[in-house]
Structure 1
Amino acid sequence: MRTRYPAAAVSTVLAATLATGGCTASAVGGGAASGTPSASTDCVRVVEENGRKTDECLPLAPERERVDLGTPVFSNPTEVTNPLHASSRVQQVIYDGHVDGKPFRTELTLLPDIKTVTVNGEQVRARTLQYVSFSDGRVKEVATDWFAQADDGSVWYLGEDVFNYENGVVENTGGTWRAGKSGPAAMIMPRDPKAGDVYRPENSPGTVFEEVTVKAVGQTVPGPYGPVKGAIRTTEINQDGTRENKVIAPGYGELTIDEPGPDLEAITLAVPTDVAPGPAPSELAALSAAVRAAHADATDATVAKARAAWDAYRAADRVPQLLAQQMDRDLDSLAAAVKARDAALVRGAALRVAQNDLDLHLRHEPLATVEAARLALWARQTALDSAARDTGAVAGDATSLELTWDRVKHDTDPARAARIDAALKALREAADRKDVQAAHQATDRLASAL
């Protein structure tokens, strides 16, 4: 999708401004909004991660290399057929990795909602993707993104609403932008990218900015379950001057994101791309039962059973390498937390193990079934966090429940949906008041409705 900044750095992005004086500046976005290329190169000033402005301009590509300077025409914008963009066929993708030294997990889901955005005076209908990232299992960033395909097959980014969380509550909304208000619509994927193409998936300096250069096309790259053909490799420069190398592949979108330093994010699996025919192996059901037991009551014995069930499942079914590493690490962390009798670490590690387990089900079960299991997981987690009187965790749990519910409520029986809505509303109100007893009662209502 685009670069995700650490929460500590998000507010610094807002400080970026167009340079004056030593740099020659043209209209922001070149000709993306007007359809005419600018005569000179934009100057976007580097803003360091700590928020300090510099006099240095980003080393941007020459205007002649950009392929996003025309005015897009949108006749049928919600039919996204470009195979390299996630909204073309992917219902949900799961990313795993490490960011800032912590386990980092992302759920990217195509929603049924259609958003209307004004682009160059035209009302454009856009597809909606929900982005939710978790650090150490807890909600860290949420975004709702809007995309539309132009008549030439290129895909354009029309804006996003961003919410950055700290200890379960919204800390800021840095990175929020809207085409026609904060800046121009921005090309996020050309129709037929070629090596040397340059485009800007975000092009509102002062709020968000990225410039991408295509390095190679027609690549065959490793995927979660085998080689993937037709991928491209890109390098992306961000507003703080850092660069990211990405692999973008059909059926996945951004397959891997290699950030500066030790941070790495990659897709664990995608639906429907990685769906396997036939029933799930019996070892997966046994694993899930053991994981639920450890989540409810983590002891040396329940964790050992979960480990044994994991080993048995891994021997019986294919598991993406990154997810296998994540599960191994999280089970080790859970065992260590139990031995240390650290209740907070136990709750966090048990949650991450349970998240990993449900991700495995995506290969074998309908997405709606897995989402329903996620709702039940977050309800159990809310009960555990309420009992521990962890108000920040409860607030984050309520958010995770609401976001998951947004993905499935359109397919839910209206009477049942009303009960779930009422329980979630009561939970949100209790969480906002930091009333853990009321939150626990609302969770009981929610569990009954689920």
Structure 2
Amino acid sequence: MSTNRHILLTGVSVTAAAFLAGACSGAAESTAGQTERSACVHVVDEDTGRTGGACLPTAPPADRVDRTEPRFTHPTKITNPLHPTSEVTQTIMGGQVDGKPFRTEVSLLPGTKTIQVDGKPVQARISQYAAFSDGRIQEVALDWYAQADDDSVWYLGEDVFNYDNGVVADTDGTWQAGRDKAPPAMIMPADPEKGDVYRPENLPEIVFEEVTVRAVDQTVDGPYGKIEGAMTVRELHMDGSTEDKVFAPGYGEFSTGTKGGDLEAVSLAVPTDAKPGPVPPRLTALDRAAVAAHESPGAAAVRQVHSAWDAYRASDAVPDLLERQMERDLVALEKAGDGAQAMDPALRVAQNVTDLRVRYESVPMVDRDRLALWTRQLTIDAKAGNEGGAAGDVTALELVWERVSHDASNAAPVAMDLRKLRSAADAKDMAQLRQLAPELAERIVELKGL
């Protein structure tokens, strides 16, 4: 899930029949032994959406492993080791994009979505992708996946929401199999081999990616040790650019980019990285210090977080990526002092600590505290008159609530409060938000069943 994975590129679509026939650019052998040119997949400018005359350098049809029609008997049991969608409850990813801290929460939602594939209903699992730039909401996507009978995983579309200053700027990148002639698209072969080619998005000039497997059976550094059986692929995008990604067993998409440049990589995932036993006391102390710094940043609060952080990381394993992020954000928080510039680093520090707790606590329990986190941030932004920030805070609350509402036995009052907050945020009514946020904070404390 790279940062350009949800760009919508307008143009002419292809039919499902063309998909099954393997429409692509490049050479293919005809039955008469003559070389013929298959349908050209045109390069599309990412910034303007304009279709150019050049064809993408796509692979020969013979290399494609996604040209057979999938059969879905038990589609919601997605157990493919390199795309275990139904087995991973939540994955936290981190890194940096365009010079800003970048963090994502990828969460399995309850329930399924029915999607018509070749006229037949297929139940798909729903994955919620929430990306934050500099701590603030940037993109949300609901991705739909199904596993075929041969254990390959198919991508059936996504709803995308791209944000600018806390509000939806566009829904570019949205597509759905069976709608506008979009075909289902293989996102992971059953047993990938080097040289395999497949298309996770296959609606040329609308959305398109072609993947080539470059290496299999690799060993990579995971959050808490070595991981065997990883795979590296190269993606060809609509604009002609390419990007390498790593997939790893127990995680799925594992990393893209480099440590020194743009990077989105797994910090940790559960249950893959879950550890039995109680939350370490020093992590609980770090969490309290981070909450205090979030509520009221300043020199004393930063010293407390630093002390608690040093004590915790000396006593427990911390994923390398999360450690780098925490160090970066603590430096930024210290430099910011107690002014308005401390707002975002204080938020990111609190997010980092909450992420660490996922290893020891259930996702619903941690998400309840994420509700509290975003309610605190909403109070801060509403008091500061930050309309975009407040709108984004309400969105973040809605995202977390979508994940936990089915577990809460007294969900109705929170749902009502969130509806009121959304109305106030849309109206840019900061006074109403300041009044409603404390009420929501009380409701969150009273939540049961998580």
Instruction: Calculate the TM-score normalised by the size of structure 1.
Output: 0.92
C-alpha distance in structure 2 between counterparts of 1:93 and 1:14, whole Å = 28
User: Per the alignment, in what secondary structure is the counterpart of residue 43 of structure 1?
Assistant: coil
Contact 2:43 2:56 in 1 (8 A): yes
Q: Which residue of 1 aligns with 2:210?
A: 211
Aligned partner of 1:110 among 97, 108, 111: 108
- Paired with 1:246 and 1:46, the residues of 2 have a C-alpha distance of 21
- Structure 1 partner of 2:349: 353
Between the aligned partners of 1:150 and 1:206, the Cα distance in structure 2 is 26
Cα deviation, residue 244, structure 1: 1.1
User: Contact between 2:51 and 2:205, CA under 8 Å: does it hold in 1?
Assistant: no
Q: Which residue of 2 aligns with 1:158?
A: 156
Q: In structure 2, which of residues 377, 384, 390 is the aligned counterpart of residue 388 of structure 1?
A: 384
CA distance in 2, matches of 1:161, 1:265: 21
SS at match of 1:302: helix
- Residue number in structure 2 paired with 1:408: 404
Question: What is the distance in 2 between the residues matched to 1:410 and 1:50?
Answer: 40
The one-letter amino acid of 1:203's match is N
For 2:250, the equivalent position in structure 1 comes to: 251
Alpha-carbon contact 2:23-2:39 (below 8 Å) kept: no
Could you tell me how far 1:251 is from its partner in structure 2? 0.5
Structure 1, residues 218-267: CA drift from partner, whole Å, max 9, x if none?
A: 11111111111111111111111111111101110011112798211110
2: CA distance, partners of 1:256 / 1:30: 33
- Equivalent residue pairs, number: 432
CA distance in 2, matches of 1:33, 1:180: 13
Q: Which moved more, 1:163-172 or 1:179-188?
A: 179-188
What is residue 50 of structure 1 aligned with on the other side? 47
The alignment partner of 2:85 has SS state of helix
CA distance in 2, matches of 1:150, 1:61: 24
From 370, 375, 388, the equivalent of 1:374 is 370
Counterpart amino acid of 1:190? P
- Displacement after TM superposition at 1:47 (Å): 2.1
Q: Please report how far the alpha carbon of residue 17 of structure 1 lies from its aligned counterpart in structure 2 after TM superposition.
A: 4.9
Question: 1:217-366 counterparts in 2 under 5 A?
Answer: 217-258=216-257, 262-338=261-337, 342-343=339-340, 345-366=341-362
3-state SS of paired residue (2:405)? helix
Amino acid across the alignment from 1:180: G
Q: What secondary structure is seen at the aligned counterpart in 2 of 1:304?
A: helix
Task: Give the Å deviation of 1:277.
Answer: 2.0
Question: How much is the aligned-residue C-alpha RMSD, in angstroms?
Answer: 2.0
Contact 1:31 1:70 in 2 (8 A): no
SS of the equivalent of 2:66 reads coil
Shift of 1:287: 0.5
> How much does 1:88 deviate?
3.8
- Structure 2 match to 1:134: 132
Cross-structure match for 2:10? 15
Q: 1:41 corresponds to which residue?
A: 38
1:299-332 deviation per Cα after TM superposition (whole angstroms, max 9, x unaligned): 1111111111111111111111111010111111
Match of 1:200, SS state, is: strand
2:151 counterpart SS class: coil
Residue 334 of structure 2: SS of its match in structure 1? Answer: helix
One-letter amino acid of the counterpart of residue 43, structure 2: V
SS of the residue corresponding to residue 209 of structure 1 reads strand
Q: CA deviation at 1:42?
A: 3.6
Match of 1:23 in 2: none
Alpha-carbon contact 2:116-2:177 (below 8 Å) kept: yes
Partner of residue 425 from structure 2, selected from 427, 431, 445: 431
Cα distance in 1 between the residues matched to 2:130 and 2:435: 26
1:71/1:6 Cα in 2 relative to 1: closer, same or farther (>3 Å)? Answer: closer
Does the alignment pair 1:417 with 2:424?
no
State the Cα distance separating 1:342 from its structure 2 match.
3.9
1:197 counterpart letter in structure 2: D
Which string of whole-angstrom CA distances, capped at 9 and with x for unpartnered residues, describes residues 19-53 of structure 1? xxxxxxxx566754468998643422222332254
In structure 1, the residue corresponding to 2:426 is in which secondary structure? helix
Aligned residue identity for 1:377: L
* Partner residue of 1:398 out of 394, 416, 441: 394
Structure 1 residues 181 and 33: alpha-carbon distance in aligned structure 2, compared to 1, 3 A threshold:
farther
The alpha carbon displacement at 1:280 in A equals 2.2
Gapped runs of 5+ residues in structure 1?
19-26
| Alpha carbons 1:30, 1:69 under 8 Å: kept | no
State the shift of 1:55 in Å: 2.2
- Shift in Å, 1:375: 0.5
* Identical counterparts, % of pairs: 52
Alpha carbons of structure 1 residues 293 and 300: separation in structure 2 relative to 1, 3 Å: same
Give 3-state SS (helix, strand or coil) of 1:315's partner. Answer: helix
Offset at residue 355 of structure 1 (A): 0.3
Kindly provide the amino acid, as one letter, of the partner of residue 78 in structure 1: T
- Aligned to 2:436, the other structure's residue is in SS state helix
- Residue of structure 2 equivalent to 1:184: 183
Q: Which amino acid letter does the alignment assign opposite residue 441 of structure 2?
A: A
Distance in 1, Cα, partners of 2:222 & 2:15: 37
Q: Does the CA-based 8 Å contact 1:386-1:394 persist in structure 2? A: yes
Partner of 1:4: 3
**Paired residue type of 2:431:** Q
Q: Distance in 2 between matches of 1:287 and 1:275?
A: 19
Paired residues of 1:129 and 1:145 also in contact (CA < 8 A): yes
Tell me how far 1:75 sits from its aligned partner.
1.0
What residue in structure 2 maps to residue 90 of structure 1? Answer: 88
Q: Are 2:19 and 2:202, in contact at CA under 8 Å, matched by a contact in 1?
A: no
Give the aligned partner of residue 198 of structure 2. 199
- CA displacement 1:55-96 (0-9 Å, x = unmatched): 221110000000000011111111112111141411000000
Gaps of 5+ in 2: 31-36, 445-450
Q: Deviations over 1:341-369 (max 9, x none)?
A: 541x2111111100000000011111111
4+ residue runs over 3 A deviation = 15-18, 27-42
Residues 161 and 176 in structure 1, CA contact (< 8 A), matched pair in contact too: yes
Once structures 1 and 2 are overlaid, which stretch shifts more, 399-408 or 256-265? 256-265
Which amino acid letter does the alignment assign opposite residue 220 of structure 1? T
Q: Which residue of 1 aligns with 2:70?
A: 72
Q: Structure 1 residue 205: deviation in Å?
A: 1.8
Partner of 2:434: 440
2: distance between equivalents of 1:73 and 1:218? 27
Q: For residue 112 of structure 1, report the CA deviation from its aligned partner.
A: 1.0
Change (3 A) 1:105 1:16: farther
Kindly indicate whether the alpha-carbon contact (under 8 Å) linking 2:64 and 2:196 is maintained by their aligned counterparts in 1: yes
